[in-house]
Structure 1
Amino acid sequence: MATTSRPGVSYVMPVLNEAGYVESAIRSVLEQDYRGPVEIVLALGPSSDGTRAIVERLAAADPRIRLVENPGMDIPIGLNLAIAACRNPVIIRVDAHTELAPGYTERGVADLERTGAATVGGIMVATGAPGFQAAAARAYNSRFGLGGGAYHGDDAKEGPAESAYLGIMHAGLLAEVGGFDETLRRGEDWELNYRLRQAGHIVWLDPKLRVTYWPRSTATKLARQFFATGVWRGELVRRLGARNPLRFFAPPLLVIATVLSVIAIPLHATGVLSGIVGWIAALVYLGPALYLVLLAVAGATSEGTPADRIRFASVIAIMHYSWGSGFLLGVVRGAGNAVDTSRTES
């Protein structure tokens, strides 16, 4: 039986077209053994796959679940609407594609109190059904796939961080910096943590806080998701410039080198590029060539059948090229009205 010996927590979850995942996500929250009052506030977008019926059924059966409408679908707006409806001093962000590990809430709130941080987050542990989704999960968990992000690997160290997955946050400090930026459609977590750090607060990473994440289940959906994420990261570079980590520039440089290589191949073959100019121009092949070596190493060192290994290497390429292409578009023209269609289109 929960007691009120711990501060109340409010889980906030943006939901759109998540019929296959949302019930498990909510169950993982309700099953947290937390010694304090809890509520779940769902920001419900205009789903077309039966998600609304699922969450309304769950809310009717449990008064801890409340719904707010998010007609515009944008995640930051939905998060702010949910946060505005919260009654408790601790806000915990969860996504409909995730499941919290047992003890997540108790440990996270203790971390928040122990460290004095504004927000605490943990590790994304991707998982997937056999086939493409499992390959995508392996790529998420591998430094070959999302290399550099502290919350994507088992070698993460506890301590202050640039960012952390999802977030267990002080409601007051969240309000102090203005909540999530509603002009963003992707990258809102990183941007919020950036503002918290700029305001002198601590973002704390605890790798013992683990969240299961279910990635997109098809190549098309994954490419759409990563392209949109790249576009919005490009928008953040336009806004913040060099204050973005250098690792974000690797995929777009790969895309540029690959495009230049495609242009250079026929020019070399026909002799248009020759002599010293040709040798200098041939340097553009180095990036794609090294990347092919990286994909080969990634596939060879991964687990599973030969088909699994090829699929894993292919997923990494989809991630990098989609993200890098989106990034370049975002830097050149801004994000505009770009959306992630991986949840709204089949």
Structure 2
Amino acid sequence: MTQDTGDRAPAATATGISVVMPILNEERHLAHAVEAVLSQPAPGPVEVILAVGPSSDRTHEVAEQLAADDARVRLVDNPSGRTPDALNAALAAAAYDVVVRVDGHGILSADYLATAVRVLDETGAANVGGIMDAVGTTSFERAVATAMKSRLGVGGARFKLGGEAGEAETVYLGVFRREWLRRVGGYDSRFSRAQDWEMNYRIRQAGGLVWFTPELRVEYRPRGSFRALARQYRDYGRWRRVVARQHPGSINLRYLAPPAALAGVALGAVGGVLWSPLWLLPAGYVAAVTVGGVAVARADGLAVMARMPAVLATMHMTWGWGFLTSTIRLQDEPTGLGEAQTTPSNGAVA
């Protein structure tokens, strides 16, 4: 694979936009995602840096062809295949003063780059981001997308629900002033998941502003099966618990709702054998996700409505299970920009 080790990045950061993309098994979507970046108007030069992991499909070939077809696309290797390592490798090779994170299956809205730079300038923010616009094609994906855009599914997360522009705890993906990435040391490579939330926490603790704006939108493809959805939300819960351990005080009630729901359902299911009124706990939860799920999906058709209660329960219960059972401990010293690991981390011990 063609590899750029970052030698082309100037010693002094130039004015422009570096789009960094962690890539693994993205054969189907990568070309479309890159095209959505390169076709945009932008207030300055743009480069796209693809940090490509050891994929099992034709992602390498697609990435190489994209780089051969357009000099603005560069490749770096990510031997570990881990997202934070990919991001740090791409950041180390980036040439410009604005850094935009995009995933290999994410499609940017029109004028995303120009709007993001304008909002950075207007707000003085360290990081700005917008809406994670989940869009499904199958009935199951559409049900997940609807759940992800509802308060019943994800609580009050503005980057999934939308809302007014303003200061935020975290945003989806992010558009950064590179000086802030340098200041906080980039992504903590020990975080296989939740690395964006964790870094935004460090940015805010260092005095930086994280800003949400609904003007920015990235199309996101939801998981396509219950098994994949359960694994995704279990991992979200596991790693959000790690963030809470690493940064005491970073947790809030929204993140405690899924484990509380799981504990209540489990208590009622087991305790109801001894004291029947406890059956009201799981029964009440089932009623809530059924009635609520049908309500939020009422405009999406019967196929989506029928799947919604089970989709909501999968998201809640697996997130809660991951949070409650997480035994991951961070043992290594964090690595950041220019220090991406070449093998899976020993810092995360299950």
Aligning the two structures, in what range does the TM-score lie when normalised by the shorter sequence? 0.7 to 0.9
What are the within-5 Å matches in structure 2 for residues 45-124 of structure 1? Answer: 45-124=53-132
Q: Which runs of 5+ in 1 are unaligned?
A: 1-5, 270-281, 340-346
Q: What is the aligned partner in structure 2 of residue 147 from structure 1?
A: 155
Q: CA deviation at 1:286?
A: 4.5
220, 224, 231: which one pairs with 1:213?
Answer: 220
CA contact (8 A) 1:41 1:82 kept: yes
Answering whether residue 325 of structure 2 is matched by residue 329 of structure 1, we say: yes
Answering whether residue 314 of structure 2 is matched by residue 318 of structure 1, we say: yes
291, 294, 298: which one pairs with 2:292?
Answer: 298
Q: What is the aligned partner in structure 2 of residue 194 from structure 1?
A: 201
Q: CA separation of 1:55/1:254 partners in 2, compared to 1, >3 Å: closer, same or farther?
A: same
Bigger shift: 171-180 or 138-147?
Answer: 138-147
SS at match of 1:185: coil
Q: CA deviation at 1:244?
A: 1.2
Answering whether residue 179 of structure 2 is matched by residue 172 of structure 1, we say: yes
SS at match of 2:219: strand
Deviations 1:82-114 (A, max 9, x none): 000000011000111210001000010011111
Quote the Cα distance in structure 1 between the aligned partners of 2:216 and 2:230. Answer: 28
Quote the Cα distance in structure 2 between the aligned partners of 1:113 and 1:49. Answer: 40
Q: Which amino acid is the alignment partner of residue 319 of structure 2?
A: W
Quote the Cα distance in structure 1 between the aligned partners of 2:191 and 2:213. Answer: 26
Q: CA deviation at 1:137?
A: 1.1
Q: CA deviation at 1:290?
A: 3.0
Q: CA deviation at 1:335?
A: 5.5
Q: Which amino acid is the alignment partner of residue 221 of structure 2?
A: W
Higher helix share: 1
Q: CA deviation at 1:162?
A: 1.1
Q: What is the aligned partner in structure 1 of residue 262 from structure 2?
A: 255
CA contact (8 A) 1:43 1:69 kept: yes
Residue identity (%):
42
Q: What TM-score comes out, normalization by structure 2 length?
A: 0.86
Q: Which amino acid is the alignment partner of residue 97 of structure 1?
A: H
Quote the Cα distance in structure 2 between the aligned partners of 1:310 and 1:224. Answer: 22
The root-mean-square deviation of aligned C-alpha atoms, in Å, is 1.8
Q: CA deviation at 1:318?
A: 1.0
Deviations 1:2-25 (A, max 9, x none): xxxx93000001011122222211
159, 162, 168: which one pairs with 1:161?
Answer: 168
Deviations 1:180-235 (A, max 9, x none): 11111111111111111111111111111111111111111111111111110111
Quote the Cα distance in structure 2 between the aligned partners of 1:286 and 1:184. Answer: 38
23, 40, 51: which one pairs with 1:43?
Answer: 51
Quote the Cα distance in structure 2 between the aligned partners of 1:321 and 1:336. Answer: 25
Q: CA deviation at 1:267?
A: 2.7
CA contact (8 A) 1:234 1:335 kept: no
Q: What is the aligned partner in structure 1 of residue 190 from structure 2?
A: 183
Q: Which amino acid is the alignment partner of residue 226 of structure 1?
A: Y
Bigger shift: 195-204 or 291-300?
Answer: 291-300
Q: Which amino acid is the alignment partner of residue 126 of structure 2?
A: A
SS at match of 1:34: coil
Q: CA separation of 1:25/1:335 partners in 2, compared to 1, >3 Å: closer, same or farther?
A: farther
Q: CA deviation at 1:336?
A: 6.8
Quote the Cα distance in structure 2 between the aligned partners of 1:22 and 1:147. Answer: 30
What are the within-5 Å matches in structure 2 for residues 132-143 of structure 1? Answer: 132-143=140-151
Q: How many residues align?
A: 317
Q: Which amino acid is the alignment partner of residue 128 of structure 1?
A: G
CA contact (8 A) 2:234 2:319 kept: yes
Q: CA deviation at 1:306?
A: 2.8
